[in-house]
Amino acid sequence: MSSYYVYSIEPMPRIDLFGQRDYTPDNDWIGFNGVNIGPVPAKEWMKLPDRIKSLRHHDRTDRQGHTYHVFADEIVKANQHRTPRGVIFLDHEPTAAEKVELEAQATKANIQFRMEAIQFYEDQVREHDTGNPARTKPTTYELECYELLGVERPGSIAAFKSQRQPGEAVAERFAAQMEKLINLLMEGRTNASTARNKQSAD
């Protein structure tokens, strides 16, 4: 039987955001058929239980309930859509080299996911500016994305500067993001090479 592992670049769900009104954790739990594996910590490889036992009541008269199980492979199959956010599943314990390579992939995916979250919010702002019903206030998560990626939020002082010097601001923003991604990829390759050499030496 395969042993399944999960890795996430950010905690799932975001327990640190539980107190925020604009965060709903329901979609961030990793599980299947009404059963979840519990909170997944950030940047740690977590072994999934082979199966999880639960109890289901068919109706109000079913006081005793019926036992059922959810298996690890079912959970993995049902949660593959989380990969773009930086969540990775493996059907074996990762080697040192795999950890380095896959963790870099997860980070790259999460950066892209956050950039798309920012784009979605800014599209909403533009919709509002053209007279259409749309929100202008970013969510707590979107604000975090701006902060982590170092991107200017619409309405900020830096954004006003961008309006005065659009070409220059866009070029600087693009260059900064590309440099960040390139450094991340180069670091991942270097660490992967080091890990492979260490395994060969052993």
- Alpha helical stretches, state H, the chain: 72-78, 96-129, 140-149, 157-164, 166-201
User: Which pLDDT belongs to residue 160?
Assistant: 46
15: left (phi over 0), alpha (psi -120 to 50) or beta: alpha
Phi, psi for residue 31 in degrees, rounded to 5: -175, -165
Residues 6 or more apart from 126 whose CB is under 8 A from it?
none
Cα distance between residue 75 and residue 40, in whole Å: 13
User: Which pLDDT belongs to residue 149?
Assistant: 85
3-class DSSP state for residue 28? helix
User: Which pLDDT belongs to residue 148?
Assistant: 87
Q: What is the mean pLDDT of each run of 10 residues along the chain (202 residues)?
A: 91 94 93 93 95 83 84 94 94 96 94 92 88 89 90 64 50 59 59 58 58
Inter-residue contact 107 to 198 (CB < 8 Å): no
User: Which pLDDT belongs to residue 164?
Assistant: 45
